[in-house]
Amino acid sequence: MSALRLTGLAAALALGVVLLAAMPVAQAEDSGFYLAGSLGQSRVRYDSSTYYAGSNSVGYQVAAGFRPLPLVSGEFDYTGFARAYSGVNYADTYGVGLFALGYLPIPIVQVYGKLGLVDWRTSAHSRSLSFHRSGANVAYGAGLTTSWGRLGARLEFESFDVAHASSMDFTSIGLVWWL
């Protein structure tokens, strides 16, 4: 991800926080529809038999979810992983996922687990070769979340079982807005 795109994403996230802080605070129900956005460390290592590249850099995630009950929610998200590279070779991967989340009934800070299916796409390029791969694989994770009225925060770790990657995970911190 270029520095310009990363700066723009950080500015948009900061503007969102300011706008949310200006809105009237509702009761903290932690149920209903929500939107979330996160930034964090994307760790990507591609299988050397397929394409050698890797990175530890900044990735991002945006999500929309519905929490009908205090113990469960469903979430649809988009994750943009950092560009993996090796010399002049590079690969970009993103994924669209559908997850089920289960929460432990702990007050103030809630612990949750996450399991779902991610439809991913990779575009790899080098001087002499370019290819595109796609598929659907399992993803899972765990996190902590809390909220203050309409605004919340979460800390999350996710691991993605992408077919051609030896490892792909995302550790992030983000904001949640309850609609």
pLDDT of 28 reads 41
pLDDT of 125 reads 82
β-strand 32-46 against 110-125: which pairing, if any? unpaired
What average pLDDT does this structure show over 54-66?
Answer: 91
**DSSP-based three-state secondary structure for 5:** helix
Q: The whole model's pTM is what?
A: 0.77
List pLDDT tens digits, range 90-141: 888 899 999 999 999 888 899 999 999 999 998 888 787 787 888 899 999 9
